[in-house]
Chain A
Amino acid sequence: MPLLEVDDVVVQFGGVTAVDHASFVAEAGRVTGLIGPNGAGKTTCFNVITGLQKPNRGRVRFDRRDITRLSVPRRSRRGMARTFQRLEAFGSLSVRENVRVARDIHRGIAGLVRPASADVDGLLERVGIAAYAGERADSIPTGTARLLELARCLACDPQLLLLDEPSSGLDEQETDAFGLLLAELAAEGRAIVMVEHDMDLVMSVCDEIHVLDFGRVIASDAPGAIRANPDVQRAYLGYSDVDEELAEQTREILL
């Protein structure tokens, strides 16, 4: 039984169908990749899973329960957390305070009575941004802010971790460290779903990959099989005019 099931979800914005009968699953203890060209509906899928976007049809099941009608915070309290493609760090708070807020929210009333402090620094250490602990979150580099959002999620100890382009803004070394961290988090039994454009990272850490194109899931398979899938190649290569660099990069990796 997979931890997360997205079942036949449709999202329409006016006349545009952003997600078109998409179905995919993510299992505990594994890293699941969600890839596809720009505008394929990846972030919208995340919004549907977390409740920020109401689907026109379809269901989302989490931990064997139908959560399609639950509000955003209630879903979160069931054990999911996400990061954002467009950063949503609490800009006027320090990095440490950002994680503290998450911890306080997670602990509910208990958090109000006895605020957390000690383990927050441990989390910053774990994602590798302890050096920034005292900085304001709107003054740190993008890559660091993405790691901060990850630390904030971890403060809620989620079963399901949704990461939206987590590695953009990280250099090569940081990306490697990040890959190791992901594997470690999955080994703890969490399900990780990651939207990512860095194909090296996707191919190396993901156990399964779903490819979205024009809102449809065109392939779901292990990295090796995805690499060889002709539909996937076509979807990526057909977009060279939209994102030259991305297509170039993909071509290199896929072919």
Chain B
Amino acid sequence: MSTIISFTILGLFTGAAYAIAASGLVLTYTTTRVFNIAHGAFGMVMAFTFWDFSQRQGMPTWLALVLVLGVVAPGTGWLVQRFITRGLGEGPVSVSLVVTVGLFVGLIGLAQYIWPPEPRTVPPFLPDKGVQIGDTYVTAHQIITIALSAVVAGLLYLLLNRTRIGTAMRASVDNPVLLRLFGGNPDRVASLSWAIGISLAALAGILLTPVIGLSYFDLTLLVINAYAAAMLGRLSSLPLTFVGAMGLGILQSFAVAYLPTEGFLSGLRAVVPALFLFVVIILMPQAQLRIGQVKGIVSAPLPSMTRSAVCGAALLGVVAVLATAMSDANLLLVGTAATYAMVMLSLVLLTGYGGHVSLAQFTFAGVGALAYAKLDEPNLYGLVMSALIAAAVGALVALPVLRLTGLYLALSTLAFGVLMDKLVFQADFAFGFNGTLHAERLSLLGTSISSISGYVIVMATFFVLMALGLLVLRRGVLGRLLIAMRDSPAACGTLGLDLRWFRVGLFGVSAGMAGLAGALFAGLRGTIGAADFQLFNSLPLLLLAVVFGVTSVSGAALGGIGLMLLPVLQSSRPELAGLVFAVLGFGAVALGRDPNGLANLLFGLGRRLDRRFGDVVRRAVPLLPLPADRADTSTHGEVPLMEDLQQPLKEVGVHAAARG
């Protein structure tokens, strides 16, 4: 009996902390339509700040608390809204996801840089106080947390329902432009809700730190629990969010208490929130197609097929030369870069062309690698089967969220990543707990490619083939359909396209590409384990893909090299390890609005130079041809000015449209 009570209280305590975090998430999402993936990361940084104030600088606890919750956190929230997330809510979901993932990674990097890894502890509030209830001892910290969640709920209720700015906040949920017309200030509303949101994240982080420790990752990933709770309230209802948080807290606590500590089921304890999130997302009602949302994106120009083929051949040539000249260790890095580049190609298809975001692309690569190692057929058959298995898994992940769109699809990939990380990859039938599997190198048409130099050339060939295949697809009917679907799902639907199955297919193909890369990677490395495909690696992957350009094949190639260099850079300069992530994260924040990335800027430089000096040079050397993008009449690179000018008018129009 006493176990039930003590675990219920433990569950209520964690539930209360989740509720505080989740209500902040709901507040920022409903008022600004930006789903803050980095919500937990903000809580983590604020918890570290609290430690810094109270422990390192020795301030009294109350002062540190007031400073963090009243000054640092709201100030950060205000700044972030003002300079980073402002206006993102009106754009495509993929952009706001990428930007907040950028914040997520950047904040972890920043925390590691400012507070290098060392053991730190934060004592609970009123450490020696507590109440004895029967056999159960309830600490003052637990009581304070539960009480605070009630206070937060009450204050939020009063704010939203009893104050002028609260009414404005609820109004801006429906239509910020209309709010402005009626004399409200949506920017002020947005800043305020971000200030409050980050403060709530900070409070949750500080309350949880004494229990789960001051860790960069644990606190950050707690956000998944907050998502799960917020999803129960469909990201809009605060009361349901509180119910969800408390329910999840208790569920998790009971899982710890009553699930077996050994065997496959033991892994379930760690994934209760992810499972909860999955179930809630699956139970969500059908999403309706939204009208009047996204407009055309200025894509990176598509190279001609000849040019692509020449570039591909040149790339292969370079790799072949490197393969003869480089040491095995360096060739391993080249092969790794090729793997990453192939996984990024799968993102070019999914995100760049299709407009969907996957937060767990490495997990699909892991599925491919696992299948390859388990099949033990080191030939083309095994490779193709591995890719197909990964594709099937990808389609399975998209299937339950068939009825939903953008954000929920991305979040379910996140939940999927956690499930695979903690439950499947670690299981005995997979890699095993901290275990590894052996994988043979591929043999092609009976010839075994055992030398690393040969294998790296094969990998580069696969990359080039995949890239060319992608470009052919983009030029064809399917490519046009993908772009059309990204630009206007509603129009595609009313023209008779069943988007749902198309989306499942897209997810499947993309996962298959990642799986193929994973299988090749398994052969390259020889031994692979769960650690090679951790969920957290998928986030820098997504960011680098965007930084280098997720709409182009060349962006994927550059991004692959970049991602390979990250750990190399970190191990050579360990003191900069955090900073690298910070630069990457905030770089993605800066570039997130332009999905064409650095690759396009780089190649755009050539075009710009050409525009400037090209005619002069051509007059001197008459043999030089005109560049492809100047030969046709399309207006690449021009900002659609008309759209911008009409935007406010249309916003009003859509409200009228909703009514009439």
Q: Which residues of A contact B (CB under 8 A)?
A: 13, 16, 18, 36-44, 47, 50, 52-54, 71-74, 76-77, 81-82, 84-94, 97-98, 100-102, 104-106, 111-112, 115, 134-139, 141-142, 149, 152-153, 156, 212
Contacts and interface: CB of A to CB of B under 8 A. Distances in A.
Contacts of B656: 38-39
Contact of B634 (A38, A47, A87, A136): A136
A132 to B, nearest CB: 11
A77 B492 CA distance: 12
A100 B494 contact: no
Contacts of A91: 295-297, 487-488, 640, 643
Contacts of B653: 85-86
Interface of A is mostly: mixed
A223 B656 CA distance: 25
B86 interface: no
Given A52-B289, A93-B484, A13 B495 contact: no
B295 A138 contact: yes
A189 to B, nearest CB: 20
Contacts of B654: 86
B506 to A, nearest CB: 14
B639 to A, nearest CB: 10
Contacts of B292: 84, 86-88
A115 B288 contact: no
B296 A137 contact: yes
B660 A92 contact: no
Contact of A77 (B291, B480, B496, B659): B496
A87 B650 CA distance: 9
B496 A76 contact: yes
B659 A73 contact: no
Contact of A71 (B498, B632, B634): B498
A37 B640 CA distance: 31
A72 B498 CA distance: 8
B291 A88 contact: yes
Contact of B632 (A40, A82, A134): A134
B660 A73 contact: no
Contact of A76 (B486, B494, B640, B658): B494
Given A105-B481, A106-B496, A90 B658 contact: no
B660 A93 contact: no
A84 B635 CA distance: 25
B476 A105 contact: no
B291 A86 contact: yes
B548 to A, nearest CB: 20
B298 interface: yes
B493 interface: yes
A136 to B, nearest CB: 6
Contacts of A115: 476-477
A142 B633 CA distance: 20
A73 B493 contact: yes
Contacts of A97: 480
Given A39-B659, A101-B480, A104-B481, A135 B496 contact: no
B642 interface: yes
B642 A142 contact: yes
A92 B299 contact: yes
B296 A90 contact: yes
A152 B476 CA distance: 18
B491 A136 contact: no
B572 interface: no
Contacts of A137: 296
18 contacts: A43-B657, A73-B494, A76-B494, A84-B490, A86-B291, A86-B653, A87-B292, A88-B291, A89-B488, A89-B491, A90-B488, A91-B296, A93-B480, A104-B481, A134-B634, A138-B640, A152-B495, A212-B660
B483 interface: yes
**10 closest Cβ pairs, A-B complex:** A91-B296, A86-B292, A76-B496, A92-B296, A138-B296, A39-B660, A72-B493, A88-B491, A138-B640, A90-B487
Interface string B478-514: 1011011011101111111111000000000000000
A97 B490 CA distance: 17
Contact of A101 (B295, B484, B635, B640): B484
Task: Tell me which of B635, B653, B659 has the highest count of chain A C-beta atoms within 10 A of its own C-beta.
Answer: B659
Nearest to B488: A88
Contact of B642 (A81, A106, A141): A141
B660 A102 contact: no
Given A53-B288, A93-B483, A142-B642, A112 B477 contact: yes
A158 to B, nearest CB: 9
A82 B494 CA distance: 7
A94 B632 CA distance: 12
B484 A52 contact: no
B447 interface: no
Interface string B621-660: 0000000000011110010101100100010011011111
Given A43-B660, A106-B496, A134-B633, A100 B491 contact: no
Contacts of B490: 52, 84, 88
Interface in B446-477: 476-477
A104 B477 contact: yes
Contacts of B478: 112
A10 B555 CA distance: 50
B657 A86 contact: yes
A113 B498 CA distance: 18
A101 B481 contact: yes
Nearest to A140: B642
Contacts of A47: 291
Contact of B499 (A73, A81, A101): A73
Contact of A105 (B288, B492, B642): B492
Nearest to A38: B656
Contacts of B289: 52, 72
Contact of B640 (A53, A86, A139): A139
Contacts of A72: 289, 493-494
Given A52-B288, A86-B291, A156 B495 contact: yes
A135 B634 CA distance: 6
A92 B494 contact: no
Contacts of A43: 657, 660
Nearest to B496: A76
Contacts of B643: 91, 138
Given A44-B660, A90-B491, 16 more contacts: A41-B659, A72-B289, A84-B491, A88-B490, A91-B295, A91-B488, A94-B634, A101-B495, A115-B477, A136-B634, A136-B640, A139-B640, A141-B642, A142-B642, A142-B646, A212-B660
A111 B499 contact: no
Contacts of B634: 94, 134-136
Nearest to A106: B496
A93 B298 CA distance: 10
Nearest to A43: B657
Contacts of A18: 658-660
A245 to B, nearest CB: 14
Interface in B283-328: 288-289, 291-292, 295-299
Contacts of A134: 632-634
Nearest to A91: B296
A93 B640 CA distance: 13
